[in-house]
């Protein structure tokens, strides 16, 4: 079974530039998550989709971050404009969305803002 | 905000010894999960314990859950060098399968 695919693996941008990350979840997984993991910390949930609807985006900095999952499959996360403190690993995860099931994570995209 | 906190932040043991790490959380949960993260790699699910369960085993892993104290522990027996990684607890609360991660314990197993 193919896992969660993310691209790119690494990205370096200058502050105030924009960047986009792409995620392809495991086939059949209704729920998709984007997490931000700053070095030395645990992953922080940014946004959760159930199919193509948003379940929770309470921790998404909406003035600069946006995410979409148009057809209920792939998802993109965008940052515009980027700040130095956005340097982190951005993890995408998916799950069946049923009770008491685990999330499967991609390898992540390491973003460095200089 | 982070849901849980792991203790200790870092742990270093000899190969063959047991490793115990703890997780405390703040609100009611549906289940609690433990994940492992190797350097430069994504998170891998280890074990899930439901709120009505008190103990669960999987291979060399043993997880306990005390909902009255809002705490969980992960025991890795007979540790191996390959167990070197960061370990995170994640709590599933609310109605939407939302996973909130703790701060993590960094485990080093010395060969």
A64-85 pLDDT, tens digit each: 999 999 888 999 999 999 999 9
- Sign for the CA dihedral angle at B26, B29, B34, B40 comes to negative
Percent of chain B past pLDDT 90, that is, above it, reads 79
Record the tokens describing residue B27, joined without a space.
């609100």
DSSP string, chain A: ----EEE-SEEEE-TT--EEEEEE--TT--EEEEEEE-TTS--EEEEEEETTEEEE-TTS-TTTEEEE-TTSS-EEEEESS--GGG-EEEEEEEE--STT---EE---EEEEE-
* B53: chain A residues, CB-CB within 8 Å: none
- The verdict on a CB contact (< 8 Å) between A103 and B96 is no
Check pLDDT > 60 for residue B31: yes
A91 versus A1: the higher-pLDDT residue is A91
Over residues A51-64, mean pLDDT:
93
Whether residue B100 lies within 8 A of chain A, CB to CB, comes out as yes
> Which of B41, B50, B99 is closest, CB to CB, to A103?
B99
What percentage of chain B has pLDDT greater than the value 70?
Answer: 94
User: CB neighbours of A28 closer than 8 A, spacing ≥ 6?
Assistant: A96
Instruction: Examine the pLDDT at A97 and tell me if it is beyond 50.
Output: yes
pLDDT band at B69 (very low <50, low <70, confident <90, very high): very high
Residues facing residue A75 across a β-bridge: A23
For residues B100-110, give the mean pLDDT: 94
* Partner-chain residue, chosen from B30, B97, B101, that has the shortest CB–CB distance to A97: B97
- Give pairs for B61-70: CB < 8 Å, separation 24+: B61/B34, B63/B32, B63/B34, B65/B32, B67/B28, B67/B29, B69/B24, B70/B24, B70/B25, B70/B26, B70/B27
Whether residue B57 lies within 8 A of chain A, CB to CB, comes out as: no
Size of interface A-B (CB pairs under 8 A): 62
Structure tokens, B85: 């990684």
Q: How far apart are CA B91 and CA A86, in angstroms?
A: 25
Q: Look at residue B65 and tell me whether its pLDDT is greater than 80.
A: yes
Q: How confident is the model at residue B1 (pLDDT cuts 50, 70, 90)?
A: very low
Confidence (pLDDT) at B3: 62
User: How far is Cα A106 from Cα B47, in angstroms, rounded to an integer?
Assistant: 18
């Amino acid at each position: 079974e193919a896992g969660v695919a993310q691209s790119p693996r690494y990205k370096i941008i200058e502050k105030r530039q924009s960047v986009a990350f792409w995620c392809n979840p495991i086939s059949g997984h209704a729920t998709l998550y984007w997490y931000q993991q700053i070095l030395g910390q645990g992953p922080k949930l940014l946004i959760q989709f159930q199919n193509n609807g948003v379940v929770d985006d309470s921790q998404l900095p909406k003035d600069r971050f946006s995410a979409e999952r148009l057809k209920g499959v792939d998802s993109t996360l965008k940052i515009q404009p980027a700040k130095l403190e956005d340097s982190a690993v951005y993890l995408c995860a998916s799950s069946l969305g049923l009770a008491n099931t685990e999330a499967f994570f991609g390898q992540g995209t390491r973003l460095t803002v200089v | 905000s982070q849901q849980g906190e792991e203790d200790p932040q870092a742990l270093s043991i000899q190969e063959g010894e047991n490793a115990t790490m703890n997780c405390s959380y703040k609100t009611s949960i549906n289940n609690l999960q433990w994940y492992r993260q190797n350097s430069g790699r994504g998170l891998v699910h280890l074990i899930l314990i439901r709120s009505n369960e008190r103990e669960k085993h999987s291979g060399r892993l043993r997880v306990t859950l005390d909902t009255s104290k809002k705490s969980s522990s992960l025991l890795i027996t007979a540790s191996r060098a390959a167990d070197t990684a960061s370990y995170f607890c994640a709590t599933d609360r609310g109605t939407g399968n939302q996973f909130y991660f703790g701060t993590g314990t960094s485990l080093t197993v010395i060969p």
